[in-house]
Amino acid sequence: MESLNVAFGHRLWWVDAFIGEGERGNPAVVVLLERAMEDDDLQQIAFELGVSETAFLRRIGDGWSLRWFTPTVEVDLCGHATLAALHVLLNELGVPGGELYFQTRSGVLSGRRLNDGLIGVDLPRAYVEPVDTKVLGETLGPIREAFQAGASSVLAVVQDYDTLCGLHVDTLALFLVPSSLVIAVCEGGPDVDVSIRVFAPRLGLAEDPVTGSAMCAVAPWWADRTGAPTLSVRQASARGGVMHARLFERNVEVAGLTRTFFGGDLRA
Protein backbone atom coordinates (compact mmCIF):
# COMPACT_ATOMS: atom_id res chain seq x y z
CA MET A 1 0.00 0.00 0.00
CA GLU A 2 2.95 2.30 0.56
CA SER A 3 3.49 2.41 -3.21
CA LEU A 4 -0.10 3.40 -4.01
CA ASN A 5 -0.17 6.78 -5.81
CA VAL A 6 -2.90 8.96 -4.34
CA ALA A 7 -1.59 12.28 -5.71
CA PHE A 8 -4.09 14.14 -7.90
CA GLY A 9 -3.43 16.79 -10.48
CA HIS A 10 -5.23 20.03 -11.23
CA ARG A 11 -9.00 20.06 -10.78
CA LEU A 12 -11.24 20.69 -13.78
CA TRP A 13 -14.89 21.22 -14.63
CA TRP A 14 -16.74 21.01 -17.95
CA VAL A 15 -19.22 23.92 -17.92
CA ASP A 16 -21.90 24.71 -20.49
CA ALA A 17 -22.28 28.49 -20.74
CA PHE A 18 -25.24 30.48 -22.12
CA ILE A 19 -27.68 27.59 -21.93
CA GLY A 20 -31.45 27.93 -22.35
CA GLU A 21 -34.56 25.76 -22.42
CA GLY A 22 -33.67 24.25 -25.79
CA GLU A 23 -30.09 25.48 -26.01
CA ARG A 24 -27.07 23.49 -24.84
CA GLY A 25 -24.74 26.48 -24.79
CA ASN A 26 -21.01 26.49 -25.41
CA PRO A 27 -18.81 24.08 -23.44
CA ALA A 28 -15.64 25.31 -21.77
CA VAL A 29 -13.34 23.30 -19.56
CA VAL A 30 -12.13 25.30 -16.56
CA VAL A 31 -8.84 24.04 -15.11
CA LEU A 32 -7.89 25.20 -11.62
CA LEU A 33 -4.09 25.35 -11.62
CA GLU A 34 -2.32 24.59 -8.35
CA ARG A 35 1.01 25.74 -9.80
CA ALA A 36 2.29 27.65 -12.81
CA MET A 37 2.75 25.66 -16.02
CA GLU A 38 4.63 26.28 -19.26
CA ASP A 39 2.63 27.71 -22.15
CA ASP A 40 3.35 24.67 -24.33
CA ASP A 41 1.88 22.41 -21.65
CA LEU A 42 -1.26 24.55 -21.38
CA GLN A 43 -1.69 24.44 -25.16
CA GLN A 44 -1.26 20.68 -25.20
CA ILE A 45 -3.91 20.28 -22.49
CA ALA A 46 -6.33 22.46 -24.48
CA PHE A 47 -5.63 20.37 -27.58
CA GLU A 48 -6.32 17.14 -25.69
CA LEU A 49 -9.56 18.44 -24.19
CA GLY A 50 -10.73 19.53 -27.63
CA VAL A 51 -13.47 22.02 -26.63
CA SER A 52 -13.66 25.44 -28.25
CA GLU A 53 -12.01 27.06 -25.21
CA THR A 54 -10.13 25.81 -22.17
CA ALA A 55 -9.84 28.35 -19.33
CA PHE A 56 -6.88 28.14 -16.96
CA LEU A 57 -7.68 29.68 -13.59
CA ARG A 58 -5.08 30.37 -10.89
CA ARG A 59 -5.26 32.26 -7.61
CA ILE A 60 -3.12 35.42 -7.63
CA GLY A 61 -3.29 37.43 -4.39
CA ASP A 62 -6.87 38.57 -3.87
CA GLY A 63 -7.84 37.90 -7.47
CA TRP A 64 -7.51 35.30 -10.18
CA SER A 65 -5.35 34.88 -13.24
CA LEU A 66 -7.35 33.68 -16.25
CA ARG A 67 -6.05 32.51 -19.64
CA TRP A 68 -7.96 31.06 -22.59
CA PHE A 69 -6.78 28.52 -25.17
CA THR A 70 -8.53 27.05 -28.20
CA PRO A 71 -7.19 23.65 -29.33
CA THR A 72 -4.62 25.52 -31.45
CA VAL A 73 -3.88 29.00 -30.02
CA GLU A 74 -4.10 31.22 -26.95
CA VAL A 75 -6.65 34.02 -27.42
CA ASP A 76 -6.86 37.54 -26.00
CA LEU A 77 -10.51 37.34 -24.96
CA CYS A 78 -13.21 34.70 -24.49
CA GLY A 79 -16.64 35.45 -23.09
CA HIS A 80 -18.16 32.01 -22.54
CA ALA A 81 -15.03 30.61 -20.86
CA THR A 82 -14.91 33.65 -18.55
CA LEU A 83 -18.54 33.01 -17.63
CA ALA A 84 -17.65 29.36 -17.06
CA ALA A 85 -14.76 30.34 -14.77
CA LEU A 86 -17.08 32.62 -12.79
CA HIS A 87 -19.56 29.74 -12.51
CA VAL A 88 -16.85 27.46 -11.09
CA LEU A 89 -15.79 30.03 -8.49
CA LEU A 90 -19.35 30.75 -7.35
CA ASN A 91 -20.98 27.34 -7.63
CA GLU A 92 -18.21 24.75 -7.37
CA LEU A 93 -15.63 26.38 -5.10
CA GLY A 94 -18.04 28.40 -2.97
CA VAL A 95 -16.19 31.69 -3.32
CA PRO A 96 -18.27 34.40 -1.61
CA GLY A 97 -20.38 36.57 -3.91
CA GLY A 98 -19.75 40.19 -4.75
CA GLU A 99 -17.34 41.37 -7.41
CA LEU A 100 -14.74 38.86 -8.58
CA TYR A 101 -11.76 39.98 -10.65
CA PHE A 102 -9.72 38.23 -13.33
CA GLN A 103 -6.29 39.28 -14.60
CA THR A 104 -6.26 38.55 -18.33
CA ARG A 105 -4.58 39.46 -21.60
CA SER A 106 -7.45 41.94 -22.10
CA GLY A 107 -6.89 43.66 -18.75
CA VAL A 108 -8.80 43.17 -15.52
CA LEU A 109 -12.28 41.72 -16.07
CA SER A 110 -14.95 41.48 -13.38
CA GLY A 111 -17.96 39.25 -12.80
CA ARG A 112 -20.88 38.84 -10.42
CA ARG A 113 -24.06 36.94 -9.62
CA LEU A 114 -27.26 38.54 -11.01
CA ASN A 115 -30.98 37.91 -10.61
CA ASP A 116 -32.97 34.92 -11.92
CA GLY A 117 -30.00 32.56 -11.84
CA LEU A 118 -27.95 34.64 -14.26
CA ILE A 119 -24.28 35.43 -13.82
CA GLY A 120 -22.56 38.22 -15.69
CA VAL A 121 -19.09 39.30 -16.74
CA ASP A 122 -17.82 42.67 -17.96
CA LEU A 123 -16.00 42.56 -21.30
CA PRO A 124 -14.30 45.48 -23.08
CA ARG A 125 -16.56 47.39 -25.47
CA ALA A 126 -15.60 47.55 -29.15
CA TYR A 127 -16.30 50.58 -31.31
CA VAL A 128 -17.92 49.71 -34.63
CA GLU A 129 -17.21 51.54 -37.87
CA PRO A 130 -18.81 50.93 -41.30
CA VAL A 131 -16.59 49.22 -43.89
CA ASP A 132 -17.09 48.14 -47.48
CA THR A 133 -18.98 44.85 -47.70
CA LYS A 134 -16.32 43.71 -50.19
CA VAL A 135 -14.07 42.95 -47.22
CA LEU A 136 -16.04 39.71 -46.89
CA GLY A 137 -16.09 38.88 -50.58
CA GLU A 138 -18.69 36.18 -51.25
CA THR A 139 -17.96 34.21 -48.08
CA LEU A 140 -21.40 34.84 -46.54
CA GLY A 141 -23.35 35.54 -49.69
CA PRO A 142 -25.30 38.82 -49.97
CA ILE A 143 -24.95 41.04 -46.90
CA ARG A 144 -26.63 44.38 -46.21
CA GLU A 145 -23.89 46.13 -44.23
CA ALA A 146 -20.47 45.43 -42.75
CA PHE A 147 -18.68 46.93 -39.77
CA GLN A 148 -15.20 46.71 -38.35
CA ALA A 149 -15.39 46.09 -34.60
CA GLY A 150 -12.05 46.71 -32.96
CA ALA A 151 -8.93 45.20 -34.45
CA SER A 152 -10.08 41.60 -34.73
CA SER A 153 -13.82 41.36 -35.51
CA VAL A 154 -16.01 42.02 -38.53
CA LEU A 155 -19.78 42.33 -38.17
CA ALA A 156 -21.86 41.38 -41.22
CA VAL A 157 -25.58 42.25 -41.27
CA VAL A 158 -27.79 39.78 -43.17
CA GLN A 159 -31.41 40.16 -44.25
CA ASP A 160 -33.29 38.13 -41.62
CA TYR A 161 -33.27 35.10 -39.33
CA ASP A 162 -33.98 32.61 -42.12
CA THR A 163 -31.06 33.99 -44.10
CA LEU A 164 -28.82 33.74 -41.07
CA CYS A 165 -29.75 30.10 -40.41
CA GLY A 166 -29.35 29.22 -44.07
CA LEU A 167 -25.77 30.49 -44.45
CA HIS A 168 -23.42 27.92 -46.00
CA VAL A 169 -19.93 29.14 -45.27
CA ASP A 170 -16.73 28.15 -47.08
CA THR A 171 -14.32 27.92 -44.15
CA LEU A 172 -11.22 28.15 -46.36
CA ALA A 173 -12.51 31.30 -48.07
CA LEU A 174 -13.47 32.78 -44.71
CA PHE A 175 -9.93 32.14 -43.47
CA LEU A 176 -8.77 34.76 -45.98
CA VAL A 177 -10.91 37.49 -44.38
CA PRO A 178 -8.51 39.64 -42.29
CA SER A 179 -10.33 39.09 -38.98
CA SER A 180 -10.26 36.60 -36.10
CA LEU A 181 -14.04 36.70 -35.64
CA VAL A 182 -16.64 37.05 -38.39
CA ILE A 183 -20.02 37.77 -36.80
CA ALA A 184 -23.12 37.36 -38.96
CA VAL A 185 -26.03 39.24 -37.38
CA CYS A 186 -29.68 40.01 -38.03
CA GLU A 187 -32.48 41.73 -36.21
CA GLY A 188 -34.98 39.47 -34.49
CA GLY A 189 -35.19 35.74 -33.97
CA PRO A 190 -37.24 33.49 -31.69
CA ASP A 191 -37.96 35.46 -28.48
CA VAL A 192 -34.88 37.71 -28.83
CA ASP A 193 -33.88 41.12 -30.16
CA VAL A 194 -30.95 39.90 -32.26
CA SER A 195 -29.60 36.63 -33.63
CA ILE A 196 -26.02 35.81 -34.62
CA ARG A 197 -23.67 33.16 -35.93
CA VAL A 198 -19.91 33.41 -35.40
CA PHE A 199 -17.09 31.97 -37.49
CA ALA A 200 -13.45 31.89 -36.37
CA PRO A 201 -11.33 29.68 -38.65
CA ARG A 202 -8.19 31.67 -37.83
CA LEU A 203 -8.63 30.56 -34.21
CA GLY A 204 -9.15 26.95 -35.19
CA LEU A 205 -12.98 27.15 -34.92
CA ALA A 206 -15.00 26.77 -38.10
CA GLU A 207 -18.12 27.94 -36.23
CA ASP A 208 -18.32 28.79 -32.54
CA PRO A 209 -21.39 27.46 -30.66
CA VAL A 210 -21.97 30.57 -28.49
CA THR A 211 -19.67 33.59 -28.39
CA GLY A 212 -19.83 35.94 -25.41
CA SER A 213 -17.05 38.15 -26.79
CA ALA A 214 -19.20 38.86 -29.86
CA MET A 215 -21.35 41.02 -27.58
CA CYS A 216 -18.46 43.49 -27.41
CA ALA A 217 -19.40 44.39 -30.99
CA VAL A 218 -23.08 43.44 -31.20
CA ALA A 219 -24.19 45.56 -28.21
CA PRO A 220 -22.69 48.84 -29.57
CA TRP A 221 -24.06 48.05 -33.04
CA TRP A 222 -27.54 47.53 -31.56
CA ALA A 223 -27.33 50.70 -29.47
CA ASP A 224 -26.29 52.74 -32.52
CA ARG A 225 -29.19 51.24 -34.47
CA THR A 226 -31.97 51.50 -31.87
CA GLY A 227 -30.72 53.61 -28.96
CA ALA A 228 -31.34 50.68 -26.60
CA PRO A 229 -28.50 49.82 -24.17
CA THR A 230 -29.80 46.31 -23.48
CA LEU A 231 -30.56 43.38 -25.74
CA SER A 232 -31.19 39.65 -25.81
CA VAL A 233 -29.32 37.53 -28.33
CA ARG A 234 -29.77 34.03 -29.73
CA GLN A 235 -26.80 32.27 -31.32
CA ALA A 236 -28.19 30.08 -34.06
CA SER A 237 -25.56 27.34 -33.95
CA ALA A 238 -26.12 23.58 -33.75
CA ARG A 239 -25.88 23.69 -29.92
CA GLY A 240 -27.61 27.06 -29.59
CA GLY A 241 -27.34 29.64 -26.84
CA VAL A 242 -28.98 32.71 -25.33
CA MET A 243 -27.13 35.78 -24.07
CA HIS A 244 -28.16 39.04 -22.45
CA ALA A 245 -26.06 42.18 -22.81
CA ARG A 246 -26.03 45.66 -21.29
CA LEU A 247 -23.88 48.38 -22.81
CA PHE A 248 -21.82 50.83 -20.75
CA GLU A 249 -19.36 53.52 -21.77
CA ARG A 250 -16.28 51.29 -21.66
CA ASN A 251 -17.59 47.77 -21.29
CA VAL A 252 -20.43 45.37 -22.03
CA GLU A 253 -21.97 43.25 -19.28
CA VAL A 254 -22.68 39.84 -20.81
CA ALA A 255 -24.94 37.52 -18.83
CA GLY A 256 -26.30 34.00 -19.15
CA LEU A 257 -27.19 30.74 -17.49
CA THR A 258 -24.59 28.04 -16.83
CA ARG A 259 -24.38 24.44 -15.64
CA THR A 260 -21.64 21.98 -14.72
CA PHE A 261 -21.67 18.90 -16.95
CA PHE A 262 -18.93 17.05 -15.07
CA GLY A 263 -15.86 17.59 -12.88
CA GLY A 264 -12.66 15.67 -12.25
CA ASP A 265 -8.89 15.81 -11.96
CA LEU A 266 -6.31 16.46 -14.62
CA ARG A 267 -3.40 14.03 -14.45
CA ALA A 268 -0.82 16.32 -15.98
The CATH number covering residue 107 comes to 3.10.310.10
pLDDT of 100 higher than 80: yes
Same structural domain for residues 43 and 29? yes
Same structural domain for residues 14 and 116? yes
Residue 204 covered by a domain = yes
Same structural domain for residues 78 and 53? yes
Same structural domain for residues 95 and 206? no
pLDDT of residue 151: 82
Residue 4 covered by a domain = no
The number of folded domains in the chain is 2
Residue 3 covered by a domain = no
**Could you tell me which residues are beta bridge partners of residue 184?**
156, 197
pLDDT of residue 204: 80
Residue 239 covered by a domain = yes
The string of pLDDT tens digits covering residues 114-150 is 999 999 999 999 999 999 998 888 888 889 999 999 8
Task: Look at residues 268, 201, 186 and name the one whose alpha carbon lies nearest to residue 231.
Answer: 186
pLDDT of residue 9: 63
Same structural domain for residues 233 and 259? no
Residue type, 142: P
Distance CA 130, CA 154 (A): 10
Catalytic residue among 53, 92, 129, 253: 53
Same structural domain for residues 151 and 81? no
Give the residue-averaged pLDDT of 96-122: 95
Q: How confident is the model at residue 3 (pLDDT cuts 50, 70, 90)?
A: very low
Residue 84 covered by a domain = yes
Share of the chain above pLDDT 70, in %: 96
Residue 28 covered by a domain = yes
Same structural domain for residues 37 and 132? no
Same structural domain for residues 89 and 151? no
Same structural domain for residues 138 and 250? yes
pLDDT of 8 higher than 70: no
Distance CA 116, CA 196 (A): 24
Same structural domain for residues 235 and 132? yes
The string of pLDDT tens digits covering residues 137-188 is 888 888 999 999 988 899 999 999 999 999 988 888 888 888 889 999 999 9
Cβ-based neighbour number of residue 173 at 10 Å: 14
Mean pLDDT computed over every residue of the chain: 92
Give the residue-averaged pLDDT of 94-110: 93
Same structural domain for residues 200 and 89? no
The string of pLDDT tens digits covering residues 61-91 is 888 999 999 999 999 999 999 999 999 999 9
pLDDT of residue 262: 94
pLDDT of residue 1: 35
Q: Whole domain around residue 83: which residue ranges?
A: 10-123+255-266
Residue 215 covered by a domain = yes
Residue 99 a catalytic site member: no
Residue 182 covered by a domain = yes
Same structural domain for residues 156 and 248? yes
Please give the model's pTM, rounded to 2 decimal places. 0.92
